[in-house]
Structure 1
Amino acid sequence: MISGRLPAGFALAAAGGILLSGCAAAMVAAPLAAGAGVFKASKQSRASKRERARQQAQPTPKPGQVFTAADGSKVEITTLTALPPPSGAPAAAAPTGGNAPPAMQYLYGSGEAAALSLQAYQALWNYLKVEIGYRRDKSQIRSVVLTPGSTLDNPRFETCGKRPLAVVLDIDETALLNLGYERDEAASGGGYDAARWSRWEQTGADKVAAVPGAAEALAAARREGFTVIFNSNRSAASAAQTAAALDHAGLGPAALFDTLWLRGEGEPSGKDSRRQKIAGRYCIVAMAGDQLGDFSDLFNAPDASIAARRNTVGGTLLAPLWGAGWFMLPNPVYGTALKGGLDDIFPPDARWTDPGAAPR
């Protein structure tokens, strides 16, 4: 369903190609000039006219051609401009534009993050197609939105009834990659700035890309009759620009207060109030996000410890929902997941000290 694209490769020598012995480095670093037979003459003070004519008549060297040098060694013309590493693999291009933070390297540049995103959206589509699509009596399907009054230890859900089926997604780093904003933040060296983010919402609609797998999965969901709805903490004042960004990435259409729900002026960042409004009109059978708050505000209780918050994901009755109604996308760049000290993250019984290390 998802197609990939390999990066432009380096020019490789043909099988049985270059043997980079002692003097080969000099020959690679200074390739033969086109149209010139630049072989030094022997120790004779002057070459004969016949020799000069023979040199001038030589054809222009081309990559792949092999010549015999005066000492009998073979010289192959290549397109290489630098020696490959000892492994024989092509030399990597030098990085440009400065270094990106490791989290950005992972999310926006790595194949690993792309694979996780594809995996999540493939699982979302399979769930819609198999678990939901084949159900004859869809009125008895349960919504995956927690009903008001639920707790993480006692979650409750409603049946769909006659409401149309819908998929609800977060936007930023769930469906849309904010490439322009994150590059600017990395280049400037500053952290999150609300004013800069507001300017980004207003002007960055064409500097985004779809999260791998999102466009294909959402298009397939729409073809099968599911309504695709976005629920984001972007400002409602930028609704037109947000809809344009989704269109640019191939994720639209989206209409405000119908299939696009954004944060109003002065409204808190929690999404439950908007989720309930959507759930009153649609039966939400799947949700996707990159933060736990994209599924319920209950995960972000201010007094919850790091360990307790983590345990609510896998240690409660909500655990079976992951991959079966709730779908998480990777985001190590920002958000509620990025907190905790060493003692918060690593339990005491998992501490280890290298016995061979110098005393600290």
Structure 2
Amino acid sequence: MTMRRAIVALMAGSVLLSGCVVAALPVVAAAGIGKRTIDRQDRNKRKARADAAAPRAQAKLPSPGGAAAAAARPGPAAVPPEMQYLYGSGEAAAISLQAYRALWNFLRIEISYRRDKTKISSVVLSPGSTLASPKFDTCGKRPLAVVLDVDETSLLNLGFESYNARRGATYDPTRWARWEETGADKVVAVPGAADTLAAARSEGFAVIFNSNRSAATAGRTAAALEGAGLGPAVLGETLFLRGEGAPSGKDERRWRIAQKYCVVAMVGDQLGDFTDLFNLPDNNVLARRNMTSESLLAPLWGAGWFVLPNPVYGSALHGGIDDVFPKHKQWDDPDPAAPAPAPQK
């Protein structure tokens, strides 16, 4: 009776502790040693005797293609650390949730509570702006909108990147085109995106996607977004994609969107999702970094511009040792027995 009460108490406690029901089950099972356990042990012994009596030739079946085929079959591929981070880590999920919560707080507190919304400024740089002299239009009577990039901002492309990870492949534009056509059901929403965009729509904000995906695959991109729970997207209305032969910059599309909507927030994983000025060819690594933190645009981060992590691909992945680590901040181990650093490539 004492043992039965202990089991009942364990089961009741496991229900009260959310998420711990499964963890408690092995404890309950271990407490129930009795006739069923003995019977299971007897069955195991009988099975072991039967296996020992089986013909030796059947003990190990050959692989379908023979020993050579088995040896040639590749083992599990190692996932690159940057993919482990973006697609697998709790840390990346937490940062995404954090960014989308910040977006929602900004929309609710900074925008929705403004009585006179005609005086709100767009966060799209006006044509003719420079980083030293940024210009923004006021909303007037245009409806308010949020503009988002698609890939690794709204959607995580698990299917495409899993192919690259399993095969050690690099980016191939022709493969990416095939992915746009066939991978609509192999994506998931970035953590926090679906709930935030649904809430934004409920508050009257238009949700618009601006992507460098091809306009020729607009139907599949719209299906991917809707299938991931990010809502409808209609080409030319709430979905803007790169036309055939058009450059990858987004300013022209942003300005078209800004003619109809007052864009009060933008979300992206690359600096080019906010302005093409960040990607001018003369911008070196240090200058580009300083443009975000030491320019007149710095106050926009978290207050109209919201960026998500992407260590897998894109314009952020540039720079040699001396670009990333200024010479006057580099350190050498003073231990004379320490191995010499590898030469720079």
Q: Normalized per residue, which structure has more helix?
A: 2
1:19-38 map, 5 Å: 34-36=40-42
Show the counterpart of 1:278. 257
**Contact 1:32/1:38 (<8 A) preserved:** no
Distance 1:152 1:341 in 2: 25
Q: TM-score, normalised by structure 1?
A: 0.76
- Structure 1, unpaired ranges of 5+: 19-30, 40-95
Output aligned runs, 1:135-150, within 5 Å: 135-150=114-129
Percent of aligned pairs with the same amino acid? 66
Corresponding residue of 1:231: 210
1:215–1:251 CA contact under 8 A, matched in 2: yes
Distance in 2, matches of 1:299 and 1:319, equals 13
- The total of aligned residue pairs comes to 287
Q: Which runs of 4+ in 1 moved over 3 A?
A: 5-15
- Matched residue, 2:154: 175
Among candidates 76, 79, 82, match of residue 100 of structure 1: 79
The verdict on how the C-alpha distance between 1:347 and 1:7 changes in structure 2, with shifts beyond 3 A counting, is farther
- Shift of the 353–264 alpha-carbon distance from structure 1 to 2, 3 Å rule, reads same
> Match for 1:358 among 316, 333, 338?
338
Q: 1:250 corresponds to which residue?
A: 229
Check conservation: 2:125, 2:275, Cα contact below 8 A.
Answer: yes
Is the counterpart of residue 198 in structure 1 residue 204 in structure 2? no
Residue in structure 2 matched with residue 213 of structure 1 by the alignment:
192
Tell me the TM-score normalised to structure 2 length: 0.79
Residue 32 of structure 1 deviates from its aligned partner by 7.3
Write the letter of the residue equivalent to 1:330.
P
Q: Post-superposition shift, 1:239?
A: 0.2
The alignment partner of 1:100 has SS state of: coil
| Equivalent residue number for residue 98 of structure 2 | 119
**Partner SS for 2:265:** strand
1:56-67 residue pairs with structure 2 within 5 A?
Answer: none
Deviation of 1:187 after TM superposition, in Å, equals: 1.1
Q: Which sections of structure 2, spanning at least 5 residues, go unmatched? A: 1-17, 32-36, 46-74, 341-345
What's the offset of the Cα at 1:333? 0.3
Instruction: Summarize deviations over 1:144-175 as a string: whole Å, max 9, x none.
Output: 00001111111110100000000000000000
CA deviations over 1:278-325 (Å, ceiling 9, x no partner): 000000000000000000000001111100000000000100000000
SS at match of 1:229: strand
Cα separation, 2, equivalents of 1:136 and 1:258: 27
Q: Offset of 1:98 from its aligned partner?
A: 2.4
Partner in structure 1 of residue 292 of structure 2: 313
The code of the aligned residue for 1:227 comes to: A
Deviations 1:239-265 (A, max 9, x none): 000000001100020000000000000
Q: Any conservation in 1 of the 2:86–2:311 contact (CA below 8 Å)?
A: yes
Select 2:141's aligned residue among 138, 142, 162: 162
CA distance in 1, matches of 2:332, 2:307: 34
Q: CA offsets per residue over residues 80-131 of structure 1, 9 Å max, x none?
A: xxxxxxxxxxxxxxxx842110000000000000000000000000000000
Larger radius of gyration: 1
